[in-house]
Amino acid sequence: MTAARRYPANADLEARARRRVPGFAWDYFIGGIGPEQCLARNRESLEAIALMPRYLGGAVTPDLTAEVMGTRYDLPFGVAPMGLGGMIWPGAAEAMAGAAAAANIPFALSSYANTSLERIAEIAPSHAWYQHYVTNRPEVEAAMLSRTEAAGYRTLIVTVDIPTATKRDRDIKNGLTIPVTIRPRMIAQVAACPTWALATARSGMPQFPNLAPYAPDGSSMSEVAAFIGTIMEGHVTPDRLAQIRDAWPGRLVVKGVLDRRDAEVCRHIGADAVVASNHGGRQLDAAPAAAEVLADLRTALGPGIALLADGGMRSGLDIARMLAAGADFVLLGRAFMMGVAALGPPGAAHVIETLREELRSTLAQLGCPGVADLPHFRSHSGSIAPKLDPAARLA
């Protein structure tokens, strides 16, 4: 039986992925923060968005392409940056980057990924975006930006929603530390996942090749992790963001924006795009969901800045809902990682094709000719505030 028949929806991959990944890694991947109310809010906000079908308008062949920051992609979604992905499944970043390039969608590599930015630039030279955390060391920042540009990246994502270390209950209970150390309580979990264990043995425990070079020479992995923690601490001020804008010659995306005043700062400093995001429910459990703030952010940004969104999407229908709520483009993280964890490297392409077909089917059911027209099919009987007129959104 083919994967398409055995796993027709991405939700079908979860049970298999859960069996193949040790519990401590699974909890890190799937969990949020505190009681995880923000995780639930992300889903509830999407499910509250109703779409109004128009069945008497004639047949349509939906156009699924989308343009963002001057580049046209075959689909209106990309792969969100995910840190420590190599712990979830070794080689996950390489698999997702290759699948994204083949499908003509973007792949965003996290600073905390376990694959170097140079390697991903080789795999997906025209589709790779790099996600950067602002540091409190100017010399480190300058070196990181220069390295990213030299590798050929033209899109930099600056994530602003991690001003300090967080307290994630699942990780504390599991004894998960960075660097990852297999403790006695984890041995049985690893033994129950032999495919993961063998893949990890071949690749080695996750390293941080994008950040480790800036630690003092001779640092152990524990010392590298401690160093990274110290240089990432602190809020991103408007002045720091403006400095990065001045230093980075390519397209600048600011990720983690929920408040319209922060969006106005992004507009003022000349950002090319903003990502409405609560970091997958992993930072502040009381944070609003992206779908709840898109209308306010669109008003604050105006028509010339792309508005992206992430958080809670698992299906093509979810993508359609987020686009109808006001996003120009969306990013998904856990859905892609779930596919790789369940099926290995081919899982990334399987997820893309599943999302493509679900999105195509959704638009055809609505009678919607293209993703840019989705706001016209939004039912405003739900609780999510309407966005600006679609004519004002970025093409």
pLDDT, one tens digit per residue, over 34-57 is: 999 999 999 999 999 999 999 998
Mean pLDDT of the region 366-387: 80
From the candidates 279, 350, 376, 380, give the one annotated as an active-site residue.
Answer: 279
pLDDT band at 3 (very low <50, low <70, confident <90, very high): confident
E-assigned strand segments in the chain: 50-51, 66-68, 71-73, 77-79, 107-110, 128-133, 155-159, 251-257, 273-276, 306-309, 329-332, 378-379
At 386 the pLDDT is 41
Section 309-320 average pLDDT: 97
Q: What is the mean pLDDT of the chain?
A: 93
Is residue 177 scored above 80 in pLDDT? yes
Q: Inform me whether the pLDDT recorded for 2 exceeds 90.
A: no
At residue 390, the pLDDT reads 38
Q: What percent of the chain has pLDDT over 90?
A: 85
Token pair for 275: 């990502």
Our answer to whether residue 279 is catalytic in this structure is yes
Q: Are strands 155-159 and 329-332 parallel, antiparallel or unpaired?
A: unpaired
What is the per-residue pLDDT across 87-105, written as a single tens digit (0 to 9) for each? 999 999 999 999 999 999 9
Tell me the C-alpha distance between 135 and 230, whole Å. Answer: 9
How many residues would you count in the chain? 395
| pLDDT tens profile 229-276 | 888 878 899 999 999 999 999 999 999 999 999 999 999 999 999 999
